[in-house]
């Protein structure tokens, strides 16, 4: 289990960075670049919450539990 958590986060980072890396390496207008940056932030947040829920078995929205 301890090695599974970093591998899950690395896979999520590679997936979340994909929109920004495609747009930065291409010649796109500034609005598309900004939207890809926002998409990267949203994907990273979704993947972090999903990893907490699926791998760690914790509800990311339950602030009362430790």
* Structure confidence by residue, pLDDT tens digits, 7-28: 767 777 777 788 888 888 888 9
In terms of Cα–Cα distance, which of 50, 39, 49 is closest to 16?
39
> Which residue, 41, 35, 34, 33, is CA-closest to 16?
41
In a domain? residue 63: no
What six digits make up the tokens of 36?
């890809």
- Residue 66 placed within a domain: no
Domain range enclosing 38: 4-54
Is residue 60 in some structural domain? no
pTM equals 0.68
For residue 61, being part of any structural domain is answered with no
Residue 62: inside a domain? no
| Cα–Cα distance list, 64 to 46, 51, 54, 58, 59 (Å) | 21, 19, 19, 11, 10
The predicted-structure confidence for 25-65, as pLDDT tens digits, reads as follows 888 999 998 998 898 888 888 888 888 888 778 887 887 77
């Amino acid at each position: 289990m301890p090695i599974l958590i970093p591998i899950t986060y690395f896979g999520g980072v590679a997936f979340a960075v994909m929109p920004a890396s495609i747009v930065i390496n291409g010649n796109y207008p500034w609005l598309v670049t900004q939207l890809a940056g926002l998409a990267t932030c949203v994907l990273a947040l979704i993947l972090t919450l999903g990893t907490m829920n699926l791998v760690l078995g914790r509800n990311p929205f339950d602030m009362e539990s430790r």
